[in-house]
Structure 1
Amino acid sequence: MIKVVFWSQTGNTEAMADAVVEGIQAAGGEGKAISVSDISAADLAGESVFALGCPAMGDEVLDEGEMEPFVEELLPSVSGKKIALFGSYDWGDGEWMRTWEGRMKEAGAVLVAEPVICNLTPDEEGLANCKALGEALAKA
């Protein structure tokens, strides 16, 4: 079971998480979207393949209430793990995702594909990109 852990304020990133799960299932895998409030970093630390999703918040940062503390706690255990990152944003150019990607790679995680970012509500192309991300996870 590939866990797709996300934080979503308006539902945009949750819709992306659901599309990632659809992609996992389309590729023959099992996936489950899980809100970050329903899982601990320790629960995810033992997984070898997973996805993380969070929108850009404030000054292009991860949600500081739940997702940032979760990622901080998870970082020491991601070396060698195959992961995918995704999220939505309102303004800016994706700096938060580039920063997040860099942190995960620096900690030794292996990204299975380029992160997927969508401006506000994901459109058909954005959802298709999320499904492709899920397929890449399932094949990892």
Structure 2
Amino acid sequence: MDKKVAIVFWSKTGNTKLMANALKESIELQNYQADMFKAYNFDINKAMEYPIIALGCPAMGAETLEESEFLPMYNSIKSVLKDKKVFLFGSYSWGDGKWMRDWAYDAKNNGIILFREPIIAKDKPTDDILLKIKKVGIDLLSD
């Protein structure tokens, strides 16, 4: 089976998008397909096409997932994520990462096995964070 990855994200300030771009670059350097989608362009039918899905969303409001586009999309695809490699990432500007802990907890409670612990960045991702994201891109493709 050809390995292809869907990178689905929502970004307001561009920080989460930087993380998504680093992941895409890493995957493509290995000559694999990495398709990026904004949350509103991804649905359950597209989710079924990909064995590997990376989901990126920043913390919004009181440390929650973005509610108008990202959260509805995520809720609509949860049922098909159980048989896939799933990786979560995102950025935040205040707080302590509660939104990501809550998201990972929700995923696990819905039978989704996360590929590894999520990666989060405070504000703009540092070079170190981007290197970690790129390493995930390599590791996602290994069996």
TM-score normalised by L of structure 1:
0.92
Please, what is the CA RMSD of the aligned residues? Answer: 1.4
Alignment of 1:63-102 (within 5 A): 63-102=66-105
In 1, are the aligned partners of 2:39 and 2:69 still within 8 Å (CA)? yes
Post-superposition offset of 1:28: 4.0
Aligned to 1:115: 118
Instruction: Give unpaired runs (5+ residues) of structure 2.
Output: none
Show CA shifts across 1:23-78 (max 9, x none).
Answer: 22234422122111222233113422110000000011000010010111111221
Post-superposition offset of 1:97: 0.6
Candidates 36, 60, 64, aligned match of 2:63: 60
Aligned to 2:27: 24
State, as a whole percentage, how many aligned pairs show the same letter: 37
Candidates 123, 128, 133, aligned match of 1:130: 133
In structure 1, C-alpha distance between the alignment counterparts of 2:53 and 2:5, rounded to whole Å = 6
Candidates 106, 110, 115, aligned match of 2:109: 106
Post-superposition offset of 1:135: 1.5
Q: Count the aligned residue pairs.
A: 140
In 2, are the aligned partners of 1:50 and 1:137 still within 8 Å (CA)? no
Candidates 28, 34, 38, aligned match of 2:37: 34
Higher RCO, Cα 8 Å, sep 6+ = 1
Which amino acid in the other structure matches residue 132 of structure 2? Answer: N
In 2, are the aligned partners of 1:4 and 1:21 still within 8 Å (CA)? yes
Aligned to 2:14: 11
Q: Which runs of 4+ in 1 moved over 6 A?
A: none
In structure 2, C-alpha distance between the alignment counterparts of 1:120 and 1:54, rounded to whole Å = 13
Show CA shifts across 1:98-131 (max 9, x none).
Answer: 1111111222222222111001111101111111
SS for the counterpart of 1:79 is: helix
